[in-house]
């Protein structure tokens, strides 16, 4: 038998799809074997039923609407849940078509089991609902086809509806979201749909009051949109950027040497007030039981610089006593036991943050900020760090100023002392030496030699002390010097007996010539005074290229003594003043150089001066 000899019902019965034919009255007039198998109804029972009998009321209406649509357009497709004779429910998709029969209106409904597709959709929905972000899809006409739980929640907020009771599928997204055309999302979605290209962007939703990162993927069926709430990340990023800006501004303030200390303090107080959002910022000094306002930045003039109040009236008393940062976001809430202070009862200060300022390990005062309005929350760790950072800089700067003032006073005393040595002591010393010569002409005595030696020693000590006092001043003016030339000149003025000098260098560098000569003379003199009469002295450039050395073949300097030889008054010679090498170190420091001692190749001492600005 050929295929053409097989009855038509053979082919229909071989299909896995349900096939039902019904007339214009809705009565089933034909069906295939699959229809009876799946529905559980016999052929005779089916022929008494209408398509609506296979569905519950809601789906029956949808089937009826599909039949009416097929009558108008020729075909229609609808998904519905089939109810079998055993009341089992099965998801099906029916395609309804009207047969081209002019004699009567006959319709054919072909039903396909979509259980696998529904299961795949269910799994996909579960996956999408497990996403940390939101998802929704729209068709080419901008009707929502699906939204996961997060997507529904966000769409509900944007549309102003309850996501728990709203069915989003089928809603036109732009009709439901107020002023949607004015949003970035509208522009980007339209662009993606029009170009067929994926698109990513960040946007702020005023309706939701959140920031999102969005990715949209167009297809032939519409647009799939994935979005993730980045509000926390965005705020953290903005917070970091703000903190970086504030720290940069602090650096610019404290590094600006064109500003006076007072101007720097005022700028820090203004910056702190702005960042903390408070009305007052002050640097105050504590003097006994008094609290003195030294610097003020405020929104009004209720406080005046120089104003003095009792320390006990302020929260700063707690800062001073604990020597720690103090924070009250709300004084009444955070420290009810402190609400009896005048700062709260009379001045109305309801929030406070302050850090101690130290000078010489003692509390100098406080660097603090406050306001009449309490805070809902506490000051943050960042805000505490900010105030502490400012207070520590103030402490360091005040300490530096105090040290500078003390050093200046010491320098002034030293200068007065040098003046006394230079004039008040040197003048009578010169007179005494002259009288020794006069007495010797009248009466020669061995006592005169002892007196003359003692006076000469006093004169030498005076010269060295004056040199030490003045050679340490920083070198401001320099010129190019030649090491060989200046060393040979020094050799000419130093008593060297049978000593020899070798200068093996054409090194030139920047130095103050007079001071450099004194440095070299003292090193040469040190070698000749502590070595043999024929000591050999060698001067040259360091192999590192950043300095020079003076070496000898004398007895050397023990390693344990190499630091102490630079101390004023240190000498192994009974006739020495002990200032020679101290002067060498002071001159080196004044140039910004460093001097050190090692053993020379011949076993003597080798002085190395490094950090020198040499010239090739």
pLDDT in tens, 391-424: 999 999 999 988 888 777 776 766 666 665 555 5
**Considering only CA atoms, which of 146, 200, 357, 163 is closest in space to residue 265?**
357
Is pLDDT above 60 for 436? yes
- For residue 23, the model assigns a pLDDT of 83
- For residue 380, the model assigns a pLDDT of 94
- For residue 476, the model assigns a pLDDT of 78
Read off the pLDDT of residues 288-316 as tens digits, 9 standing for 90 and up: 999 999 999 999 998 899 999 999 999 99
Contact predicate 526/566, CB 8 Å: no
Q: Which stretch of 395-399, 460-464, 493-497, 555-559 has the lowest confidence by average pLDDT?
A: 460-464
Domains of the chain as residue ranges with CATH: 3-113 (3.30.450.20), 118-229 (3.30.450.20), 242-395 (3.30.450.40), 472-615 (3.30.565.10)
Residue 354's alpha-carbon distances to 263, 306, 390, 597, in angstroms, are 20, 19, 10, 51
- For residue 404, the model assigns a pLDDT of 81
- For residue 313, the model assigns a pLDDT of 93
Is 16 buried (19+), middle (13-18) or exposed (0-12) by CB count in 10 A? exposed
Compute the distance between CA of residue 296 and CA of residue 293 in angstroms, rounded to an integer.
7
- For residue 289, the model assigns a pLDDT of 93
Contact predicate 117/211, CB 8 Å: no
Instruction: Read off the pLDDT of each residue in 366-390 and give the average, rounded to a whole number.
Output: 95
Higher-pLDDT residue of 553 and 116 is: 553
Averaged confidence pLDDT in the chain: 85
Instruction: Read off the pLDDT of each residue in 184-193 and give the average, rounded to a whole number.
Output: 93
Residue corresponding to tokens 């006409």: 141
Give the chain's length: 616
Instruction: Read off the pLDDT of each residue in 321-336 and give the average, rounded to a whole number.
Output: 94
Element (H, E) at 327: strand 326-328
Confidence of residue 367 (pLDDT cuts 50, 70, 90): very high
**Considering only CA atoms, which of 492, 467, 499, 470 is closest in space to residue 580?**
467
Helical H segments across 314-369, by residue range: 316-322, 331-334, 342-345
Compute the distance between CA of residue 413 and CA of residue 408 in angstroms, rounded to an integer.
9
Confidence of residue 7 (pLDDT cuts 50, 70, 90): very low
Is pLDDT above 80 for 544? yes
| Tokens representing residue 463 in the block | 């010269």
What one-character-per-residue DSSP string does 111-180 give? EEE-HHHHHHHHHHHHHHHHSSSEEEEEETTSBEEEE-HHHHHHHHHHHTS-TTT---TT-BHHHHSTTG
Residue 319's alpha-carbon distances to 166, 328, 410, in angstroms, are 58, 12, 34
- For residue 532, the model assigns a pLDDT of 81
Highest-confidence range of 25-29, 366-370, 433-437, by mean pLDDT? 366-370
Contact predicate 43/31, CB 8 Å: yes
State CA 323 to chain mean position distance.
Answer: 27
Read off the pLDDT of residues 31-64 as tens digits, 9 standing for 90 and up: 888 888 898 888 888 888 887 788 888 788 888 8
Q: Which stretch of 4-13, 335-344, 458-467 has the lowest confidence by average pLDDT?
A: 4-13
Helical H segments across 294-380, by residue range: 316-322, 331-334, 342-345
Confidence of residue 1 (pLDDT cuts 50, 70, 90): very low
Is pLDDT above 70 for 426? no
| Tokens representing residue 179 in the block | 């002023």
Higher-pLDDT residue of 308 and 616 is: 308
What percentage of residues in the chain have a pLDDT greater than 70? 86
| Tokens representing residue 318 in the block | 């707690």
- For residue 129, the model assigns a pLDDT of 60
Q: Which stretch of 90-99, 367-376, 560-569, 592-601 has the lowest confidence by average pLDDT?
A: 560-569
3-class DSSP state of 578: coil
Compute the distance between CA of residue 456 and CA of residue 448 in angstroms, rounded to an integer.
12
Compute the distance between CA of residue 110 and CA of residue 10 in angstroms, rounded to an integer.
16
3-class DSSP state of 594: strand
- For residue 5, the model assigns a pLDDT of 42
Compute the distance between CA of residue 318 and CA of residue 370 in angstroms, rounded to an integer.
15
Compute the distance between CA of residue 444 and CA of residue 287 in angstroms, rounded to an integer.
69
Contact predicate 252/267, CB 8 Å: no
Higher-pLDDT residue of 306 and 3 is: 306
Compute the distance between CA of residue 165 and CA of residue 252 in angstroms, rounded to an integer.
57
Contact predicate 85/39, CB 8 Å: yes
Compute the distance between CA of residue 550 and CA of residue 600 in angstroms, rounded to an integer.
9
Compute the distance between CA of residue 285 and CA of residue 292 in angstroms, rounded to an integer.
5
- For residue 305, the model assigns a pLDDT of 93
| Tokens representing residue 457 in the block | 């020693």
Higher-pLDDT residue of 125 and 345 is: 345
Read off the pLDDT of residues 108-153 as tens digits, 9 standing for 90 and up: 889 888 888 777 667 666 666 666 688 899 999 999 998 888 888 8
Highest-confidence range of 184-198, 395-409, 473-487, by mean pLDDT? 184-198
Confidence of residue 330 (pLDDT cuts 50, 70, 90): very high
Is pLDDT above 70 for 6? no
Q: Which stretch of 89-93, 374-378, 490-494, 604-608 has the lowest confidence by average pLDDT?
A: 490-494
Compute the distance between CA of residue 506 and CA of residue 169 in angstroms, rounded to an integer.
92
Q: Which stretch of 59-73, 79-93, 153-167, 438-452 has the lowest confidence by average pLDDT?
A: 438-452
Instruction: Read off the pLDDT of each residue in 163-183 and give the average, rounded to a whole number.
Output: 90
Contact predicate 166/177, CB 8 Å: no
This model's pTM is above 0.75? no
Is pLDDT above 90 for 321? yes
| Tokens representing residue 540 in the block | 């040259």
Is pLDDT above 90 for 389? yes
Compute the distance between CA of residue 469 and CA of residue 472 in angstroms, rounded to an integer.
7
Instruction: Read off the pLDDT of each residue in 454-481 and give the average, rounded to a whole number.
Output: 68
| CA-based radius of gyration for the chain | 50
Instruction: Read off the pLDDT of each residue in 185-189 and give the average, rounded to a whole number.
Output: 93
Contacts of 182 (CB under 8 A, 6+ apart): none
Contacts of 486 (CB under 8 A, 6+ apart): 513, 516, 517, 520
- For residue 131, the model assigns a pLDDT of 61
Element (H, E) at 195: helix 184-195
**Considering only CA atoms, which of 3, 46, 6 is closest in space to residue 26?**
46
Residue corresponding to tokens 């390693």: 559
- For residue 358, the model assigns a pLDDT of 95
Confidence of residue 268 (pLDDT cuts 50, 70, 90): very high
- For residue 441, the model assigns a pLDDT of 77
Residue 281's φ and ψ, nearest 5 degrees, are -140, 130
Element (H, E) at 227: strand 222-229
Give me the residues paired with residue 606 across strands.
551, 598
Contacts of 290 (CB under 8 A, 6+ apart): 308, 309, 310, 311
Is pLDDT above 80 for 468? no
Is pLDDT above 60 for 193? yes
Contacts of 133 (CB under 8 A, 6+ apart): 150, 226, 227, 228, 229
């Amino acid at each position: 038998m050929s295929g053409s000899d097989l009855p038509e019902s053979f082919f229909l019965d071989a299909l896995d799809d349900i096939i039902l034919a019904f007339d214009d009255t809705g009565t089933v007039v034909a069906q295939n074997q699959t229809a009876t198998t799946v529905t559980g109804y016999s052929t005779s029972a089916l022929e008494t039923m209408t398509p609506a009998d296979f569905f519950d009321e809601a789906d029956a209406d949808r089937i009826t609407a599909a039949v009416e649509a097929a009558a108008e357009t020729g075909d229609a497709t609808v998904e519905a849940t089939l109810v079998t004779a055993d009341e089992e429910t099965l998801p099906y998709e029916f395609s309804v078509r009207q047969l081209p029969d002019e004699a009567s209106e006959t319709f054919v409904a072909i039903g396909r089991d979509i259980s696998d597709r529904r299961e795949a959709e269910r799994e996909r929905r579960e996956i999408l609902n497990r996403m940390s972000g939101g998802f929704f899809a729209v068709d080419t006409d901008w009707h929502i086809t699906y939204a996961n739980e997060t997507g529904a929640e966000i769409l509900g907020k944007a549309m102003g509806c309850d996501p728990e009771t709203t069915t989003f599928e089928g809603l036109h997204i732009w009709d439901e979201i107020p002023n949607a055309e004015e949003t970035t999302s509208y522009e980007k979605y339209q662009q993606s749909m029009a170009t067929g290209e994926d698109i990513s962007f960040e946007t702020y939703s005023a309706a939701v009051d959140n920031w999102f990162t969005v990715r949209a993927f167009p297809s032939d069926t519409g647009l799939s949109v994935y979005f993730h709430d980045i509000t926390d990340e965005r705020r953290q990023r903005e917070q970091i950027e703000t903190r970086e800006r504030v720290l940069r501004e602090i650096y610019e303030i404290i590094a600006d040497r064109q500003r006076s200390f007072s101007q720097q303090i005022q700028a820090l107080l203004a910056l702190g007030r702005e960042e903390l959002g408070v009305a007052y910022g002050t640097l105050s000094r504590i003097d006994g039981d008094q609290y003195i306002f030294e610097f003020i930045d405020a929104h009004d003039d209720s406080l005046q610089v120089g104003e003095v109040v009792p320390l006990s009236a302020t929260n700063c008393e707690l800062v001073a006593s604990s020597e720690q940062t103090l924070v009250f976001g709300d004084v009444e809430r955070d420290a009810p036991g402190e609400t009896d202070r005048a700062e709260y009862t009379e001045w109305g200060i309801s929030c406070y943050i302050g850090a101690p300022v130290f000078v010489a390990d003692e509390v100098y005062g406080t660097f603090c900020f406050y306001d009449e309005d309490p805070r809902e929350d506490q000051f943050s760790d960042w805000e505490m760090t900010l105030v502490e950072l400012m207070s520590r800089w103030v402490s360091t700067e005040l300490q530096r100023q105090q040290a500078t003032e003390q050093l200046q006073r010491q320098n002034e005393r030293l200068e007065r002392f040098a003046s006394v040595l230079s004039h008040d002591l040197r003048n009578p010393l010169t007179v005494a030496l002259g009288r020794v010569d006069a007495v010797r002409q009248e009466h020669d005595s061995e006592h005169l030699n002892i007196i003359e030696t003692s006076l000469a020693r006093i004169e030498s000590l005076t010269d060295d002390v004056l040199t030490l006092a003045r050679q340490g001043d920083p070198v401001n003016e320099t010129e190019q010097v030649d090491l060989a030339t200046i060393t040979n000149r020094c050799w000419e003025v130093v008593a060297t007996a049978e000593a020899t000098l070798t200068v093996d260098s054409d090194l030139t560098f920047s130095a103050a010539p007079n001071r450099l000569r004194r440095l070299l003379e003292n090193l040469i003199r040190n070698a000749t005074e502590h070595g043999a009469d024929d000591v050999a002295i060698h001067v040259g450039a360091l192999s590192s290229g950043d300095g020079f050395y003076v070496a000898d073949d004398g007895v050397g300097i023990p390693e344990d003594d190499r630091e102490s030889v630079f101390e004023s008054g240190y000498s192994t010679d009974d006739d020495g003043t002990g200032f020679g090498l101290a002067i060498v170190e002071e001159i080196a420091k004044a140039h910004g150089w460093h001097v050190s001692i090692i053993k020379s190749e011949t076993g003597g001492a080798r002085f190395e001066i490094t950090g020198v600005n040499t010239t090739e």
